Amino acid sequence: MMTLLATAAEHPNALEALSKTFGLHGAFFAAQVVNFFLVIIVLKKFAFGPIQAMLEQRRERIVAGEEKLKRIEKQLADSEATTAAAIAKANEDAIRLVAEAKQGAAAFTEQKAQEAIAQAQQILTKAEAAANADRERISAELKREFGRLVASTTTQVTGKVLTSDDQHRINAEALAKVGN
Amino acid sequence: MTRFLVTTLGLWLLAFASAFGAEGAHHALPLDAQPLHESLPITNSITMVWLAVILIVIFCQIATRKMSLVPTGFQNFAEWVVESLYTFLEGLMGAHLTKRTFWFFGSIFFFILVTNYLGLIPGVGTVTYGGTPILRGGNADINMTAAMAFTFAILWIYWAISENGLKGFIAHIFAPKGVKGFLFWTLMPLFIFVGFLEIISIAIRPVALSFRLFGNIYGGEQTLEKLMALVPDYLAFLPSLPFYFMELLVGFVQALVFTLLCAIFLKLICDHGDEHESH
Choose the mutation target among B86, B142, B148, B204 for the interface with A, i.e. most A CBs under 10 Å: B142
Quote the pLDDT of residue B24. Answer: 41
Of A42, A73, A140, A78, residue with least CA distance to B53: A42
Residue A7, chain B, CB below 8 Å: the answer is no
Question: Binning pLDDT at 50, 70 and 90, where does residue B272 land?
Answer: low
Radius of gyration in angstroms for the set of CA atoms belonging to chain B, rounded to a whole number: 23
What is the average per-residue pLDDT within A125-154? 86
Bridge partners, residue B133, by sequence:
B128
Q: Do B135 and B51 meet the contact criterion of CB atoms below 8 Å apart?
A: yes
Contact A31/B42, CB-based, under 8 Å? Answer: yes
Chain B interface disruption, residue of A48, A55, A61, most B CBs within 10 A: A48
If we measure between CA atoms, which residue out of A132, A38, A95, A56 comes closest to residue B69?
Answer: A56
- Assign B160 to helix, strand or coil: helix
> What distance lies between CA A178 and its chain's CA centroid?
79
State the Cα–Cα distance between residues A27 and A129, nearest whole angstrom. Answer: 145
Of B45, B64, B147, the CB nearest to A36: B147
Residue that wins the pLDDT comparison between B252 and B184: B252
B102 near A CB under 8 A: yes
User: Which residues sit opposite B35 in a β-bridge?
Assistant: B43
Q: How far apart (Å, rounded) are the C-alpha atoms in residues B136 and B35?
A: 11
What pLDDT was estimated at residue A65? 92
Q: What is the pTM of this model?
A: 0.68
Work out whether the CA dihedral B198, B200, B205, B206 comes out positive or negative: positive
Cβ-based neighbours of B86, under 8 Å, separated by 6 or more: A52, A55, B98, B102, B106
Q: Above 80 in pLDDT, residue A99?
A: yes
Rounded distance between C-alpha atoms, residue B125 and residue B137, angstroms: 7
| Mean pLDDT, rounded, of chain B | 82
Write the residue in B46, B83, B144 that is nearest to A55 by C-beta. B83
Nearest to A39 among B53, B82, B102 (CB): B53
C-alpha torsion sign, points A19, A25, A26, A28: negative
Of A12-21, A92-101, A163-172, B148-157, minimum mean pLDDT range: A12-21
Contact call for B79 and A54, based on CB within 8 A: yes
* Cα distance between residue B268 and residue B93, in whole Å: 9
Give the confidence band of B3 by pLDDT, cuts at 50, 70, 90. Answer: low
For B33, phi then psi, to 5°, come to -70, 145
B45: chain A residues, CB-CB within 8 Å: 32
The secondary structure of residue B133, as a DSSP letter, is: E
| Strand runs labelled E in A52-155 | none
What residues in A contact B79, CB-CB < 8 Å?
51, 54-55
**Least confident residue range of A78-92, B62-76, B84-98, B238-252:** B62-76
Alpha-carbon distances, residue A155 vs A76, A141, A151, B143, B264 (angstroms): 113, 21, 6, 178, 163
Between these two residues, B176 and A97, which has the higher pLDDT value?
Answer: A97
Amino acid B223: pLDDT: 87
**Is the per-residue pLDDT at B277 higher than 90?**
no
Side-chain half-sphere CA neighbours of B36 within 13 A: 16
Angstrom distance (rounded) from CA B261 to CA B148? 13
Tell if the CB–CB gap between A1 and B197 is shorter than 8 Å.
yes
Q: Which of B6-10, B63-67, B89-93 has the lowest mean pLDDT?
A: B6-10
Task: Supply the DSSP string of B183-210, one letter for each residue.
Answer: HHHHHHHHHHHHHHHHHHHHHHHHHHHH
Is A68 in contact with B182 (CB distance < 8 Å)?
A: no
Distance from CA of B276 to the nearest CA of A (A): 29
A28, A34, A59: best to mutate for the B interface, most B CBs within 10 A? A28
B277: closest CA of chain A, how far (Å): 30
Judging contacts by C-beta atoms under 8 Å, the chain A residues touching residue B76 are none
- Residue-level pLDDT at A27: 81
Q: Phi and psi at residue B147, in whole multiples of 5°?
A: -60, -45
Quick one: which H or E segment has residue B264? helix B237-278
H/E segment holding residue B132: strand B132-133
Q: For residue A57, give the nearest of B56, B69, B82 by CB distance.
A: B69
**Interface contact B148-A51, CB threshold 8 A:** no
Phi, psi torsion values for B232, nearest 5 degrees: -55, 155
Q: What is the pLDDT of residue A11?
A: 65
Cβ distance of A1 and B201 shorter than 8 Å: yes
Q: Domain boundaries in chain A?
A: 25-137
Interface mutation target, options B39, B47, B107, chain A, most CBs of A under 10 Å:
B107
